[in-house]
Amino acid sequence: MLMRAAVTTGCRDVEVASRAAPESPEGHVLVSVDCVSLCGTDAHIWAGDYPSAAPPLVQGHEIAGRVDGALVVVDPARACGRCHACRVGRGNACRRMTVLGVHADGGLSELLVVPGSGVHRAPGLTAEVAALVEPTSIAMRAVERSAASSATYAVVLGAGPIGVLATRALADRGAHVLAVDRVRERAARARAFGAELVHVAGPDFPGREQRVEIEEWTGGDGPHVVIEATGSPGALAAAIDLVAAAGTVVAVGISTGQARLSMSALPYKELDLLGSRNSGGLFPAAIEFAARHQALLAGLVTHRFPLARAREGLALVHDGAPGLGKVLISVGAS
């Protein structure tokens, strides 16, 4: 039996090819992929600036599909189980991590074989919303790292999908959230996700006035938590600058850039500067979150392409127009 897959064959080249359908060994399940949502990582791989992901590769790690007719989401990350991160229970940061669609063939394929432990039933969700569970789990991990509570004033830098999902996850904990983005429309979108206030960042963010406003909003201390979800080196420096003394900065945005950080702010403020990667065991919680906020998540999807036009979807994410939300590729025959 043959199946179709979109194969990234080189820098910015995608070919839709027929391949032999995979066999499902003991302990594994065969997933009929329904749809895949794309993110910035996919665009970097496609454009050839993600060294650990080498073509030819079937991309796609935000995957919704069906096992025996039931809707599932695929956890694309596999940890080695042996390294330090794995031994201390943080396999989400495994140094030998394999992510489907990044280090191994992923979801832009009609059929996908995954270990039984790598699929989670998603009853009640639409397939499109199910495809957003993976990025949701990443946003929830960043919020988990922040340890925010109902007493927390949090600033989220970046109102892309991860930023707005983190905003909603913070608001679900009762935290007060201020969202910041360079693009007015994106900042405004964070309101629907529970931000009390939104700021549009200029190149010198936070300028004097914004800093005063943000400090006043927190009652004078500055934000207790700042989540960096832009991947911009300047934003990480701004986060450290803005955060309250004894506060927490969580860096979830990724880039190949180098940030210049203040050597005094970290010790003087006794900051907790934390990274956040993947999602650990948060898929079940992310599925519950998605069920709670299904309409909100569905509204994040702005573009849809069939598998045959996966290349156009990747190009769109790469170019990152201001109004762009999530781009979905429908993989299934339906």
Interacting residue ranges for Zn ion, rule: CB under 5 A: 39, 41, 79-80, 83, 86, 94
Cα-flanking dihedrals φ and ψ of residue 188, to 5°? -60, -35
- Name which of 153 and 193 has its Cβ closer to Zn ion: 193
Q: How far is the CB of 170 from Zn ion (least distance, A)?
A: 20
- Name which of 87 and 292 has its Cβ closer to Zn ion: 87
Q: How far is the CB of 138 from Zn ion (least distance, A)?
A: 7
Q: How far is the CB of 240 from Zn ion (least distance, A)?
A: 25
CA distances 224 to 148, 166, 181, 201, Å, are 8, 15, 19, 19
Q: How far is the CB of 45 from Zn ion (least distance, A)?
A: 10
Q: How far is the CB of 162 from Zn ion (least distance, A)?
A: 9
122: nearest Cα among 236, 196, 59, 35? 35
- Name which of 84 and 184 has its Cβ closer to Zn ion: 84
187: nearest Cα among 233, 156, 213? 156
Handedness of CA 200, 202, 204, 209 (dihedral sign): negative
DSSP codes of every residue in 263-302: TTHHHHHT-EEEE--S-TT-HHHHHHHHHHTHHHHHTTEE
- Name which of 168 and 269 has its Cβ closer to Zn ion: 168
Compute CA 328 distance to the chain's CA centroid, rounded to the nearest angstrom.
14
- Name which of 83 and 291 has its Cβ closer to Zn ion: 83
- Residue 56 preceded by cis peptide, ω within 30: yes
